C-alpha cells in the first residue's frame, strides 16, 4: 500500500500498481493506494466513494472503507516498466531441476523483458531464462546465498538495470540460466505478526533522523516476519503497513523499537540497541527532504534557499541545529547503551546479506535462506525515496563542512574507544 496525505492522485496510484505488476489500482480515504489482481467484494453505491484525491481535485479517491477501483492500463508487451526488478545472477542447474518449476513457456523471441512480464503476470517472484525457455518460480535454496552465481557464461547478455528495453539473452555455456527478481513479493514473505510471547530484552533500533530507520525496519520485518515497534506514532507509516506503530512501545510484542531519543534516561530504558549510523551529509539532506516533502518526496530548490516557515527551519539554521545532534546521538548511545550492535547504513547497502545476518543474530532470531532472498527481492519496498534528486547547487558551505567533519572525527574516535570499527572511509576526510 502507498499512502500520501498531501499529493495522492489517481495517476500516481495507477503508475505505482502498474510498475509493481498489478492489474487493479484502488484508492481509499483520499490518500491511500492499494494494488491487486482481483476484486473480491461486491460493487458499492457510487455515493460511498465521496472523498476526492488529496492531490487531484475532482478525482474520486474512495471513501471510508470503500475503494475507487481503476483497471490498470494494459501496456504493449515489451514496453512495460517495472519497479524493484533486480538481476540475481547466472546459475547452473540441471534440466530436471528447472523442469519442476511451476510455470514454463517457450518464446521464440525470448527477451529478459518478456520473461519478467510473464512471471509478473503469474505472480511469481523469480524469472529464470535461457533462450528460448522462460521459467517462473518461488525463491528457494536452489539460488543459495552461499553459492556464488557465475556471471561468466552470461556476460554481455544481461541487463542489470532493466528499464523496459527488450534485451536478448543467450548464455554461452550449457546448463546456465539467468535469474531475475520480478516486482512480485514472494507470498511466503508477506506474513507479519507480533511476538507470541513478551520479548526480553527490550531492543531499540536507534538512529538519528534521516539515517534510514524506516528502511531498516522494513528489512527486519521482511526477513523475520515480526513487527517492529516505535517510541512514537506515525500514522503515515502505520498506513504503509508498519502495524507496530500503534502498539505500546514497551509491550514486548515487537522485535525491536524505533527511537531517535538520545537522553541517558531514554537510552537506559532499553536493554540492548541496534545503533544505525549514516553519513551525516546524507542524513541531514534526507531529514530536510522529509520535513519539506514527506517520507518519499524531495525538497525543491526554492525550499533549500527559502526562509524559515512554521514547519521547517531555514537550511543553514537546520544544519546548525541538527549536525551537533547527529554527533551527540551517536556519542550518547555509545556512552550509555548497555549492549550495542553498530550498523552503518552504507555497509548495509553494499553487503545486504552479511549485515542482515548480523542484525538477526543480535536479535536472537533464526531466519531461513528463503526469507533472506525475499529481503533481496523486495529490499527497497515502497519506503525509500525514488531517484536521487538533489538541489541544483551544493547545499553545504565551507563553514558547514568544517563543523560536520569535526563531528565525524569525534564519533569515529568514540567508536574506536569502545573497540568498535570506526566510521566508513567515505564519511571522511578526517
303 and 351 together in one domain: yes
pLDDT of residue 121: 83
Domain end, chosen from 157, 184, 211, is at 184
The tens digit of pLDDT for each residue in 375-384 reads 776 777 655 5
67 and 138 together in one domain: no
Tell me which of 166 and 85 has the higher pLDDT.
Answer: 85
Is 191 inside any structural domain? no
332 vs 322: CA distance, rounded Å:
15
Is 77 inside any structural domain? no
What predicted TM-score, i.e. pTM, was given to this entire model? 0.68
Instruction: Identify the domain containing residue 103 by its residue range.
Output: 86-184
Q: 68 phi and psi, to 5 degrees?
A: -90, 115
Taking phi over 0 as left and psi of -120 to 50 as alpha, with beta for the rest, 140 belongs to beta
Q: First CA to last CA across the chain, in angstroms?
A: 42
Is 194 inside any structural domain? no
Is 76 inside any structural domain? no
256 and 401 together in one domain: yes
Listed in sequence order, the DSSP H helices in 308-397 are 315-336, 345-350, 352-362, 369-377
The tens digit of pLDDT for each residue in 1-56 reads 565 556 778 878 877 777 676 778 888 888 788 888 778 788 888 888 888 887 77
Do 28 and 34 contact (CB within 8 A), yes or no? yes
109 vs 87: CA distance, rounded Å:
20
Is 47 inside any structural domain? yes
Taking phi over 0 as left and psi of -120 to 50 as alpha, with beta for the rest, 331 belongs to alpha
Tell me the C-alpha to C-alpha distance, in Å, between residue 136 and each of 6, 17, 208.
38, 21, 41
Domain count, the chain: 3
* Nearest alpha carbon to residue 231 among 211, 216, 251, 212: 251
180 and 211 together in one domain: no
Domain end, chosen from 71, 102, 122, is at 71
Name which of 54-63, 93-102, 233-242, 301-310 the model is least confident about.
301-310
Is 93 inside any structural domain? yes
Q: Is the pLDDT of residue 402 over 60?
A: yes
24 and 91 together in one domain: no
230 and 361 together in one domain: yes
Tell me which of 345 and 13 has the higher pLDDT.
Answer: 345
Identify the band that residue 71 occupies on the pLDDT scale cut at 50, 70 and 90: confident
242 and 334 together in one domain: yes
Taking phi over 0 as left and psi of -120 to 50 as alpha, with beta for the rest, 353 belongs to alpha
The tens digit of pLDDT for each residue in 259-318 reads 999 999 999 999 999 999 999 999 998 888 877 766 555 666 667 766 555 445 688 888
Amino acid at each position: 500500500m502507498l499512502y500520501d496525505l498531501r499529493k495522492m492522485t489517481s495517476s500516481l496510484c495507477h503508475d505505482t500498481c502498474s510498475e509493481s505488476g498489478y492489474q487493479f489500482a484502488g484508492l481509499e480515504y483520499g490518500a491511500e493506494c492499494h494494488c491487486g489482481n482481483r476484486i473480491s467484494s461486491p460493487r458499492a453505491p457510487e455515493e460511498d466513494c465521496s472523498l476526492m484525491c488529496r492531490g487531484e481535485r475532482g478525482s474520486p479517491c474512495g471513501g471510508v472503507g470503500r475503494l475507487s477501483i481503476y483497471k490498470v492500463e494494459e501496456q504493449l508487451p515489451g514496453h512495460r516498466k517495472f519497479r524493484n526488478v533486480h538481476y540475481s545472477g547466472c546459475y547452473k542447474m540441471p534440466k530436471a531441476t528447472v523442469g519442476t518449476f511451476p510455470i514454463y513457456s517457450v518464446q521464440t523471441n525470448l527477451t529478459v523483458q518478456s520473461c519478467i512480464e510473464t512471471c509478473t503476470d503469474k505472480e511469481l517472484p523469480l524469472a529464470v531464462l535461457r533462450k528460448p525457455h522462460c521459467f517462473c518460480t518461488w525463491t528457494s535454496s536452489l539460488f543459495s546465498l552461499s553459492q556464488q552465481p557465475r556471471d561468466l557464461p552470461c556476460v554481455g547478455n544481461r541487463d542489470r538495470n532493466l528499464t523496459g528495453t527488450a534485451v536478448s539473452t543467450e548464455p554461452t555455456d550449457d546448463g546456465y540460466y539467468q535469474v531475475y527478481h520480478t516486482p512480485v513479493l514472494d507470498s511466503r514473505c508477506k506474513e507479519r505478526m507480533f511476538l507470541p510471547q513478551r520479548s526480553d530484552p527490550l531492543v531499540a533500533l536507534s538512529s538519528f533522523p534521516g539515517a534510514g530507520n524506516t528502511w531498516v525496519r522494513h528489512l527486519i520485518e521482511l526477513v523475520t516476519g515480526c513487527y517492529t515497534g516505535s517510541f512514537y506514532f506515525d500514522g503515515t507509516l502505520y498506513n504503509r503497513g508498519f502495524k507496530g506503530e500503534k502498539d505500546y512501545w514497551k509491550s514486548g510484542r515487537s522485535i525491536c523499537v524505533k527511537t531517535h531519543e538520545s537522553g541517558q534516561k531514554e537510552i537506559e530504558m532499553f536493554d540492548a540497541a541496534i545503533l544505525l549510523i549514516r553519513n551525516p551529509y546524507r542524513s541531514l539532506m534526507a531529514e530536510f527532504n522529509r520535513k519539506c516533502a514527506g517520507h518519499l518526496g524531495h525538497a525543491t530548490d526554492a525550499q533549500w534557499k527559502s526562509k524559515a516557515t512554521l514547519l521547517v527551519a531555514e537550511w543553514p539554521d537546520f544544519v546548525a541545529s541538527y549536525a551537533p545532534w547527529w554527533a551527540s546521538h551517536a556519542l550518547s548511545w555509545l556512552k550509555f547503551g548497555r549492549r550495542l550492535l553498530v550498523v552503518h547504513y552504507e555497509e548495509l547497502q553494499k553487503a545486504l546479506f552479511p549485515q542482515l545476518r548480523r542484525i538477526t543474530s543480535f536479535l536472537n532470531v533464526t531466519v531461513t535462506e528463503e526469507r533472506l532472498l525475499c529481503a533481496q527481492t523486495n529490499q527497497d519496498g515502497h519506503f525509500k525515496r525514488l531517484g536521487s534528486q538533489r538541489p541544483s547547487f551544493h547545499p553545504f558551505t565551507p563553514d558547514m563542512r568544517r563543523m560536520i567533519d569535526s563531528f565525524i572525527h569525534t564519533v569515529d574516535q568514540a567508536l574506536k574507544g569502545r573497540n568498535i570499527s570506526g566510521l566508513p572511509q567515505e564519511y571522511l576526510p578526517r
